[in-house]
Amino acid sequence: MEWRKIEALFLALGAEKDEGQGSSVTFLLNGKRADFHRPHPNKEALRYREQV
């Protein structure tokens, strides 16, 4: 799944996005936190890179 679609879904659900250093991105939604690393150079997110 493309990263932009994942990001759009979180934002559509009302999540707050916090850009960290480098490729780090954190979403806060309903009191839960999800940390991700934006994929590069490819656009596809890989399951093993999630840190939920």
Q: What is the pLDDT of residue 17?
A: 96
**Cα(47)–Cα(15) distance, rounded to whole angstroms?**
20
pLDDT (0 to 100) of residue 3: 87
DSSP string covering 36-51, please? EE---SSSB--GGG-B
Q: What is the pLDDT along the chain (52 residues), one digit of tens a residue?
A: 888 998 999 999 999 999 988 888 999 999 999 998 887 666 666 665 555 5
pLDDT of res. 46: 60
In tens, the pLDDT along 28-42 reads: 999 999 998 887 666
